[in-house]
Amino acid sequence: MTVSTQHADELESTENEVERIIRTGTIWFAAAIVATTIALGSLLSSGWRPSRLPEPEAALFWIGAALAVASLAALAWAGCPVLGATLKDAARQKVMSIRGGVVLLIASTTFASLAVLLSPA
């Protein structure tokens, strides 16, 4: 085994992958909290309320809100330390949770933003 192959194997090890996911999951979680707080806080402080949305846009907004909660839960799980599971099981769970969390975060932002932007002024 050459030095570069050994280094690549170390980078791709399950333990290193789980450590990377925990680190990046924590960063994604913090970014999602900050982005959500800034966006929703700005809307609410300006006097806007979801109850003012017409029915189709209101449903789209609340779907986006539910997806945001699911994405935060998935990203929080990705950033948590491994407890009570084998490293292989934890790696599989964390890979799915960070991927799903990022996809749900993008979808939730898109749905909620579209609901606000499409509603009449």
Q: Residue 40 in contact with residue 79, Cβ under 8 Å?
A: no
Residues in the chain: 121
Residues 107-111 have a mean pLDDT of 95
**pLDDT-based confidence at 57, cuts 50/70/90?**
very high
C-alpha to C-alpha distance for 12 and 84, rounded to whole angstroms: 23
Q: What are the structure tokens assigned to 110, written together?
A: 């898109």
Is the Cα dihedral 92, 81, 69, 110 positive or negative?
negative
Q: Residue 3 in contact with residue 77, Cβ under 8 Å?
A: no
C-alpha to C-alpha distance for 46 and 42, rounded to whole angstroms: 6
Structure confidence at residue 85 (pLDDT): 81
- pTM for this entry: 0.82
